[in-house]
Amino acid sequence: MIDNSTLMVAIAFSSGALMLTLMLSWLNARHDGHLISWAAGMAFVVMALAALGLRNGRYDTPMQLVSFSALLSGMALIHVGICQFRTGRVCVPQAALLWAAAMLATGLPFLMGFSGVGTIALNLFCAVYMALSGYQYWAGRAEAPVPLMTAAVLFALTGISFLACAVVLVVEGRFVLTAPPNNWAEAFNSIMAIVGLTGIGALSLTLNQSRAARRHRLEAQTDSLTGLLNRRALFDRFGKAELPVGTAVLMFDIDHFKQINDRQGHAAGDAVIQKFAAILRQNLRDDDSMARIGGEEFCAVLQPMPVDQAKLIAERIRTDFEQAAIRLLSENIRSTVSVGVATSGADEPFSSVLNRADSALYKAKDNGRNRVTAAALRLIA
């Protein structure tokens, strides 16, 4: 039969491997702060478990205080990392307060000679950390239901195993310990620690890789200056597909943009582009598609509507942009935009509607710029 110390050493080795994997993952993606929090937490867990596994039956206060403090610190950092993973932020005051309470509730009884009470407090706070971490994954389950719910269940079961250790000590009245506890709850806890750490670690790394892949796809489809779709994303979304009849396509071209760059610098040009993107967002709906498809060219694909309504929307955007003061360090500048509008006919692909909107845009530019021009309706039997 494998004793508890051997299990502790096994868990320490498992945790060490997970720590190294997390550290390597963080080195490849340093903007993912939760990875370094997880890695640091696992480092403390490794230190704690190694000390507990190599204590040779000792249960003296210095050894237990060091190992239990490391274990609680590791649990706290893992929980902080999970909060970072789900919410993108860290609630430092709350995390620090909970950690301080755990350290005090665990350490003070040991210093007073009640080692059993300190051990009970340790197990209770570990159960709390497991419950809080599991809740974070459960609350974020919409992102990836199966892995996040599975991780939440593993946290819950591991938390129950810590709670069982505390309950057994209370029931047995073991408020002073002279040797490591050795009962069914401790064995259950050791097994759950191995299963939980392995499973949660694998799931967490998988979730992180999945999120990174989604982020890379999004970055590949997003214009970095404006946050709108880029040309590739727009054509990937609509391609050569036929649009519902009446789908409005608006083409925009910022007037005399090259002159802005030449006379006032590229920073001014970037400010103009960002301002126009902001005005697009203000005037269009969330389910409309907006893209920057060239240097100063933009396109918007709107839900089906009459061409006159599409022209009104385009005119509102044109007016708002003309009246907008674009702030630079030394001055405010203004710019205008020309717009071409087309709505899809029956069985008309996106590329055809786009070409008609583009032709209407060039008519607007030829007729003096800073105006909206609509393409003639096209009906295809």
Q: Which residues contact 317 (CB under 8 A, 6 or more apart)?
A: 250, 252, 279, 280, 283, 337, 339
* Residue 180 is assigned to a structural domain of this protein: yes
- Region of 339 on the Ramachandran plot (φ > 0 left; ψ -120 to 50 alpha; else beta): beta
Over residues 277-299, the pLDDT tens digits come to 999 999 999 889 999 998 899 99
- What is the structure's pLDDT at 294? 87
Domain closes at, from 188, 220, 252: 220
Residue 147 shares a structural domain with residue 281: no
Q: Domain holding 295: CATH number? A: 3.30.70.270
- What is the structure's pLDDT at 254? 95
Over residues 43-95, the pLDDT tens digits come to 888 788 777 777 676 788 888 888 899 999 999 998 998 898 888 887 778 88
Given a cut of 80, whether residue 378 has pLDDT beyond it is: no
Nearest to 272, CA basis, from 322, 313, 219, 236 = 322
- What is the structure's pLDDT at 10? 63
Band the pLDDT of 131: cuts 50, 70, 90. Answer: very high
Q: What is the residue range of 273's domain?
A: 229-374
pTM given for the model: 0.66
Residue 213 shares a structural domain with residue 320: no
- What is the structure's pLDDT at 16? 67
Domain closes at, from 202, 220, 238: 220
* Residue 139 is assigned to a structural domain of this protein: yes
Residue 199 shares a structural domain with residue 343: no
Residue 241 shares a structural domain with residue 179: no
Given a cut of 50, whether residue 381 has pLDDT beyond it is: no
Looking up tokens 């907006």 gives 290
Residue 334 shares a structural domain with residue 188: no
DSSP 41-85: HHHHHHHHHHHHHTSTT---HHHHHHHHHHHHHHHHHHHHHHHHH
* Residue 380 is assigned to a structural domain of this protein: no
Domain closes at, from 195, 220, 245: 220
Residue 244 shares a structural domain with residue 211: no
Given a cut of 50, whether residue 216 has pLDDT beyond it is: yes
Order across the sheet with 289-292: list the strands. 229-230, 289-292, 297-302, 248-254, 337-343, 372-374
Residue 170 shares a structural domain with residue 234: no
Question: DSSP class of residue 284?
Answer: S
The token pair that represents 11 in the structure block: 């868990």
Residue 305 shares a structural domain with residue 256: yes
Residue 35 shares a structural domain with residue 61: yes
Looking up tokens 């237990």 gives 64
Question: At residue 337, what is the residue type?
Answer: V
Where does 149-247 show beta strands of DSSP type E?
Answer: 229-230
Residue 97 shares a structural domain with residue 203: yes
Given a cut of 70, whether residue 2 has pLDDT beyond it is: no
The alpha carbon dihedral of 266, 269, 275, 281 has a sign of negative
* Residue 124 is assigned to a structural domain of this protein: yes
Band the pLDDT of 204: cuts 50, 70, 90. Answer: confident
Our count of domains for the chain comes to: 2
Band the pLDDT of 11: cuts 50, 70, 90. Answer: low
- What is the structure's pLDDT at 379? 55
Q: Domain holding 188: CATH number? A: 1.20.1070
With beta carbons less than 8 A apart as the criterion, state whether 26 and 32 touch.
yes
* Residue 381 is assigned to a structural domain of this protein: no
Residue 235 shares a structural domain with residue 318: yes
Residue 23 shares a structural domain with residue 143: yes
